[in-house]
Amino acid sequence: MYIVGFLLVLGPLVTLHELGHYLVGRWFGVQAEAFSVGFGKELAGFTDKRGTRWKLSALPLGGYVQFKGDMNPASVPDPSAPKEEGSFQHAALWKRALIVAAGPVTNLVLAIAIFAAFFAILGKPTITGTEDSRIIGAFAEGSVAEKAGLKVGDTIIAIDGAPITDFTDLREAVALHPDKRLVFTVDRAGNALTVPITTARVVIKDDFGNESAIGLIGVEARGAEYVLEDVSALEAVP
């Protein structure tokens, strides 16, 4: 099932990528000899009035565009082919550069368009409230912080008088002091409280077998909360 899903996503993405190469190449007068959806044996196809063979091939692993002068679908130049007009090698260097860049640019534009469509239809995620990683979102089982009296929603603002600016500060301050009494200053509904907590001592082992003790209090940061906000088509563009 995963393989089917992968192919269903990969096929259109690569095809559009190659279509970007094709369209810019055609704009600059470079002739495409073949444009294939998939690789391998041709299952069906037709030749248009410009001489391009459009085909559906057996292996649905993307696709390719083969320009005049290419030795194979991988766009390897044919050393025996003359640099005649309409071939990729005959085009100016800046034109070839733009043709090569057109594929990734097409994928980038497609990604922006997909996100914009999702945002326009479903709404754009917008953070609500305060995004502050110092706010306690949950406790681990057996948390010493919970046993000491901290509550979900408390904001840890200092440890032993040292200001805490984010969850990284909190984690580092606690980890350096295993099995030690620390005084936490927290904001609870606008009121400053001090809560002494003795950190838990946990022994960890690195990839080389070395052991070290760190302190833990068993708290998790509250994640940011989002709502889907209706936006205009222009605002939906990431």
Torsion from C-alpha of 204, 206, 209, 213, nearest 10 degrees: -30
Burial category of 151 from C-beta neighbours within 10 Å (exposed 0-12, middle 13-18, buried 19 and up): middle
Separation between Cα atoms, residue 185 and residue 11, nearest integer Å: 56
Going residue by residue through the chain, which has 238 residues, state the pLDDT in tens, using 9 for 90 and above.
566 666 566 778 888 899 999 999 999 988 888 999 888 888 998 999 988 999 988 887 778 898 887 655 666 665 555 667 788 888 888 998 999 999 999 999 988 888 888 888 888 877 666 667 899 999 999 999 999 999 999 999 999 999 999 999 999 999 999 999 999 999 999 999 999 999 999 998 888 888 899 999 999 988 777 777 777 767 767 6
Catalytic residues: 18
Q: Which residue has the tokens 């534009």?
A: 109
* Domain ranges (residues) in the chain: 2-123, 136-222
**Fold of the domain built from segment(s) 136-222:** Pdz3 Domain (2.30.42)
